[in-house]
Amino acid sequence: MNKVYILISILLWSISTAVFSQSAYSLDKMSVEKLDRGLIAMRQSEDSVSVSWRLSREDPDNVLFDLWVDGKCVIKNTKYTYLMLACDGTKEHRFEVQAHAGKSQKAIAKRLQKASYTLPANAPIGYLDIALNRPEDYWLDVNNSCSYSPNDCAVGDVDGDGQLELIVKWDPSNSHDNSHNGFTGNVYIDCYEITGPSGLKWRIDLGPNIRAGAHYTQFMVYDLDGDGKAEIVMKTADGTIDGEGNVIGDSTACWVNENGHIMDGPELLTVFGGETGRALYTTDYVPGRGAPGLWGDNRGNRSERYLAGVGYFGHEKDGKRLPSVVMCRGYYTRTALAAWDWDGSELKQRWFFDSYADGWQDYSGQGNHSLHVIDVDTDGFDEIIYGSCTIDHDGKGLYSTKLGHGDAMHVTCFMPDDDCLQVWQCHEVKGTGSTFRDARTGEIFFQIPFADDCGRCMAADIDPTNKGVEMWSICTDGIRNVKGEKIANPKRLSQNMGNWWDGDLLRELLDKTYITKYNWKTQKIELLTSFLGVTSNNSTKSVPCLQGDILGDWREEVLLRSNDNEHIYLFLTPYTTEYRFNCFLEDIPYRLGLVVENVGYNQPTQPGFYFGEGMKLSQRNRCK
C-alpha cells in the first residue's frame, strides 16, 4: 500500500466517552466477560477500508490510539475508534492498533494494549463472510425430507481468548409452531469463529425428542462459572448428541406421538462446554411438564412454551457475583421459572417459582413471547420482567399488572434526566392495547387501548426534538412520547428491531433486510441501508440471525443468512461518527438482552440507561 490517508471529515470532538452501565451494578464485584479490543477491518468500497475497535471501561480517560498498516504507523494519537482509510482492496493488509495514555498512572490492561487483524485480499465489500457447514437434508422416512437454514444465533467467548464466537441454531424447513401438528427434523447447534480461522468448531445434535420451532429451543450462551469461557445451557432429551459425539440418555428412545408432538418421556437440562460442545452435566428439566392439562390444554401447545434468560440473582464464588441461568415454561396460563447456578461441576437449583402455588395466582397468564432481565429496584440483583409481571431476584413475585399476555416489550430508561427504568409493552388481550409502566412497581403511566390483538411495538429515540425515548406500536396510531401524547404519525414506521448504525445518538430501525431512519423534519421514513444477497428469519417476524454490538466500536452489527443458507454475513456500519463510547457489551442489561435475543420472538437489545439525544455525557463510567 503506497498511500494511506484519512477520508473522514473534520468532526468536532463532542465527547470523550460515556457511561455504559446502570449505576446499581458494581462491576468490580461481578464476574463479567474480559474482551479484547474487537479490532475489525472491512472493505467499504473498491479502494477504502473501515477500521474499528472497542473502547473499554478499563481504559484510562485519556487513552489514545496509534494505527499501523502493514507494519507502518499511519495514524498517531487518535481519540477515534472508527477510521476510514484509502486502501487497495485487492491486496491483503494487516492492521494493528496500539493503545497508550501518555503519563497516565492507570495502566492499560495487557489484553487491550495491542490488537491486530488481517484483511484478506479481495474481501467482500460491506460485510464479513462467516462460512457455515450446512447440515445435510434430514429424512423422516423414505418419502419425506427437510433442508436446513441458519436461524437464531448467540455470541460468547467459548475459549477464553477475549474474542466472541458465534453459536448458530439450524432450523429444519419443516419446523412447527406448538399449535400445529407435524413432524420435524432434528435441531442442530453449531459453533464458529467470527474473525478467526473459518470452519465448524463443534456441532450438537439435539436429537429426535426435541421438536423444532420458535418456542422449543432457547440456548443460553454465557460464562456461568467465572472461568472466562462461556457455557451453553439448553433443554435436551433422550438421543441428544454432544459436540464430542457422546449420547445423552437413551439413544433408541423415541417419544414423538402420532401428531408429531413430544408430550412424554424424560425432559433434561444440559450444560455444554463452550470450547468443545461436550456435555458437562445433565439433570431433570425444571419446570417439568407434568400433566399437560395444567398448562391450559392437552395437545402440547401451552405446555411446550419455553423461555430462558441469564441474570445475577445472588450466586457468588470467591467474593465475585456469578450469573445464574433461568429456565421457564408457560405464559398463556400457568407460569413457572427455575433459576440454576453452575459452579463448574454441578448445576444446582437456586429457586423455583410457580404461578399455581398459593399466593401467586395473579401471575398466571401474564407472560410474553420474550422476557427481559435487569435490576429494576437497584438492589444489585436482577429481576425477570416476564411480560406483564415481574419476578424478584429471590424467585418471589414482585408485581403483576394483570394485563395479560403479549408479544413484545422494551425496557430501558426513557428519559435523560431519570435513572428509573420503564417498560413499553403491547398486549394480545383484546381491548388492552399498549401500556407504559414503571419497571419497579408496575404502575401504569398511560395506556392506549385497542380492540384487537396488538402484536408488535417498538421504543427508541428517533426524534431529537422530543425529549426522551419515543414509543409506538401497531395500535397507537402514531408515535407517542413518555406522556402518551401523539407527536407524529408517519407511514411505514417499522415496529420490528432497533439498531444504532449511522453514528449519531438516534437509533435506526431494522426490518427484514434493510435499515430505515425516521426524518423528524418531514415525518417520513427514509431508506438508509439495504442488505443484498441475504434473507431474514422467522417468517412474518422478519428478524436477523442476531443484531447488536459485537465487534468494533459502539455501533451495532447485523447478522443475516445468505440466500443459499451456506453463510452468515455480518454487516458493519460504513458511517463515521464523532462519538466514542464504551462498547455496549459492557453494559450488563444490554449484554443480558443480547443473550436472550434468540428466545421466543426475537426482540432488540436495550441498554440499562438512557441513550439518545440529551443523554448525560459528563461521566465516562458510573459503573466503577
Q: What is the pLDDT of residues 324-369, one digit of tens each?
A: 999 999 999 999 999 999 999 999 999 999 999 999 999 999 999 9
Distant-in-sequence, close-in-space partners of 618: CB < 8 Å, separation ≥ 6: none
Residue the block writes with cell 432481565: 373
DSSP letters of 577-621?
-S-----GGGSHHHHHHHHGGGSSS------SS--STT---S-S-
DSSP letters of 487-506?
EE--TT---SEEE--SSSSS
Distant-in-sequence, close-in-space partners of 56: CB < 8 Å, separation ≥ 6: 35, 109, 112, 582, 583, 586
Distant-in-sequence, close-in-space partners of 115: CB < 8 Å, separation ≥ 6: 36, 37, 38, 39, 53, 96, 97
For 190-236, what is each residue's pLDDT tens digit? 999 999 777 899 999 999 999 999 999 999 999 999 999 999 999 99
Residue 143: which pLDDT band, with cuts at 50, 70 and 90? confident
Q: What is the pLDDT of residue 244?
A: 98
Q: What is the pLDDT of residue 135?
A: 97
Q: What is the pLDDT of residue 12?
A: 33
Q: What is the pLDDT of residue 107?
A: 86
Distant-in-sequence, close-in-space partners of 504: CB < 8 Å, separation ≥ 6: 577
The dihedral over CA atoms of 9, 14, 15, 16, expressed in degrees to the nearest 10, equals: 50
Tell me the pairing of strands 93-100 and 64-69. Answer: antiparallel
Q: Tell whether the model's pLDDT for residue 295 goes beyond 60.
A: yes
Indicate the pTM of the whole model: 0.95
- pLDDT, average across residues 397-414: 96
Residue the block writes with cell 401438528: 181
At 94, give phi and psi (nearest 5°). -110, 125
Q: Tell whether the model's pLDDT for residue 14 goes beyond 90.
A: no
Closest by alpha carbon to 425, among 366, 359, 498? 366
Express as a percent the part of the chain with pLDDT over 90. 87
Q: In what order do the strands lie in the sheet with 40-45?
A: 40-45, 48-52, 82-86
CA distance 594 to 585: 9
How far is CA 163 from its chain centroid? 16
> What mean pLDDT is reported for the chain?
93
Q: What is the pLDDT of residue 27?
A: 81
- pLDDT, average across residues 310-336: 96
Q: What is the pLDDT of residue 24?
A: 65
In whole angstroms, how far apart are CA 270 and each of 192, 287, 545? 20, 14, 23
For 427-455, what is each residue's pLDDT tens digit? 999 999 999 999 999 999 999 999 999 98
Distant-in-sequence, close-in-space partners of 214: CB < 8 Å, separation ≥ 6: 175, 177, 538, 600, 601
- pLDDT, average across residues 383-402: 98
Closest by alpha carbon to 566, among 191, 131, 123? 131
